[in-house]
Amino acid sequence: MDPRPGAATKDGLPQLQPLFFPSALEPLYVSIDFENPDLIVNKFHRGSNSQVGISILDTRDLNLLPREQALTLATYNFVTGSDLYYTASANRYLWGTPEKILPSDMLTAINKHISRPDRNIILVGHGCGRDLAALRSLGFNFQASAIHILDTANIAREPGKSHLSLCRLLDKLKCPHAKLHNAGNDAHFTLRALILLAIKGHENQELVDGPRVEEGRGVVERVEALRALALTSLPIVEPRIEEKRIRKIHIAGPGIEEQRMRKIHIAKPKTKKERIRKGDIAKTSSLQKQEIIRAERRQKRTTTAAAETFIFDDIDALAFMMQV
């Protein structure tokens, strides 16, 4: 176990050996990712729009090779907050339908998949400091639930260089990916990245030391099955919601909403012909009357601006829509 509860190991390659060789540990590799973890750390006092994603690789499945069905990662996405935020999150999620839960139920949902007394759990994350802080804030029991914590950002980091983002790491590993910044997707692709890093480390070690004595056909089958899993093509997912015409404007707001981007729905302006037909403006008019009409319009825009636009207050949900 790591010396500190909730601390990730800097070099996780020794903990990846059960991927290639039968082990009495038979661990579950459980990748976890949060969206808006700071809201969780602050006990949801500043808002409730958040997500937790979980993706699981069971090494017992590797002991059943060769097998007719390909290996899979069991992936889950749990969403708290508004209906709009849930809908936007669901529109990005690639692996089924997210489950909407209450903030008070988040730890229960996590423990359902991670706290397994009969199994050894190795937690996985990418740049997972804030994710681990969120778990601590929720009251997650690291000592009882995880034997190791691996950070793919640490494993992939080259000496003297900065950490790679998850997107850049996946690109470097030539791993298919899409719609990041969704908790379920990020957890899934982090586990794919871990598998490819493990294969790379295993093959590099073979180049240095030569094949291990106990290596045989079983290890080769494991490597190829894991590689096929990590490089599997992505599912084609149809959007679950209709995209809205939105544009960005900068509105200074109170508290944490200051200097953030809000999205507002912009009503399509009427053409001049439509405005004449509806009586908004006259077909012909004197210069004096035109000036009166312009003054009336300015006044109308000032007093009825709120009625002519619909402001969405759910910033995070619409940020997701913009990325779809």
pLDDT tens digits, one per residue of 24-47: 899 999 999 999 999 999 999 999
Q: What is the predicted pLDDT for the residue at 262?
A: 42
Q: Is 218 in the same domain as 251?
A: no
Selection from 28, 220, 37 nearest residue 124 by Cα: 28
Which of 230, 263, 286 is a domain's end point?
230
Q: What is the predicted pLDDT for the residue at 286?
A: 62
Q: With contact defined as beta carbons under 8 Å apart, do 321 and 93 qualify?
A: no
Q: Is residue 312 part of a domain?
A: yes
Over residues 125-145, the mean pLDDT reads 95
Q: What is the predicted pLDDT for the residue at 229?
A: 96
State the virtual CA torsion across 268, 272, 277, 279 in degrees, nearest 10: 90
pLDDT tens digits, one per residue of 225-270: 999 999 999 998 766 554 443 333 333 333 343 334 344 344 455 5
CB atoms within 10 A of CB 6: 18
- What is the pTM (predicted TM-score) of this model? 0.73
pLDDT at 271 > cutoff 80 = no
pLDDT tens digits, one per residue of 80-129: 999 999 999 999 999 999 999 999 999 999 999 888 888 999 999 999 99
Q: Kindly report the average pLDDT of the chain as a whole number.
A: 80
Which of 205, 230, 255 is a domain's end point?
230
Per mean pLDDT, which of 79-93, 201-215, 266-280, 289-303 is the most reliable?
Answer: 79-93
Q: Is residue 238 part of a domain?
A: no
- Domain of 252 in residue numbering reads as 246-323
Q: Is 19 in the same domain as 98?
A: yes
Report residue 212's pLDDT band, with 50, 70 and 90 as the boundaries.
low
Q: Is 81 in the same domain as 185?
A: yes
Q: Is 49 in the same domain as 132?
A: yes
Q: Is residue 65 part of a domain?
A: yes
Q: Is residue 67 part of a domain?
A: yes
Q: Is 79 in the same domain as 145?
A: yes
Q: Is 210 in the same domain as 284?
A: no
Q: What is the predicted pLDDT for the residue at 279?
A: 52
Q: Is residue 140 part of a domain?
A: yes
Q: What is the predicted pLDDT for the residue at 23?
A: 87
Q: Is residue 315 part of a domain?
A: yes
Q: What is the predicted pLDDT for the residue at 306?
A: 45
pLDDT tens digits, one per residue of 149-181: 999 999 998 888 889 999 999 999 999 999 999
Buried b (16+ CB within 10 A) or exposed e, 287-319: eeeeeeeeeeeeeeeeeeeeeeeeeeebbbbbb
Contacts of 168 (CB under 8 A, 6+ apart): none
Q: What is the predicted pLDDT for the residue at 316?
A: 54
Q: Is 192 in the same domain as 265?
A: no
Q: With contact defined as beta carbons under 8 Å apart, do 246 and 322 qualify?
A: yes
Q: Between 144 and 81, whose confidence is greater? A: 81
Residue at token pair 């994710």: 131
Q: Rounded to whole angstroms, how far apart are CA atoms 304 and 307?
A: 5
Q: Is 145 in the same domain as 190?
A: yes
Q: Is 174 in the same domain as 91?
A: yes
Q: Rounded to whole angstroms, how far apart are CA atoms 80 and 54?
A: 15
Q: Between 229 and 9, whose confidence is greater? A: 229
CATH of the domain at 62: 3.30.420.10
Q: Is 75 in the same domain as 214?
A: yes
pLDDT at 68 > cutoff 80 = no
Q: Is 34 in the same domain as 164?
A: yes
Residue at token pair 């749990």: 78
Which of 195, 230, 265 is a domain's end point?
230
CA-based Rg of the chain, rounded to a whole angstrom? 26
Q: Is 225 in the same domain as 251?
A: no
Q: Between 100 and 312, whose confidence is greater? A: 100
Q: Is residue 3 part of a domain?
A: no
Instruction: Give the number of domains in the chain.
Output: 2
Q: Is residue 164 part of a domain?
A: yes
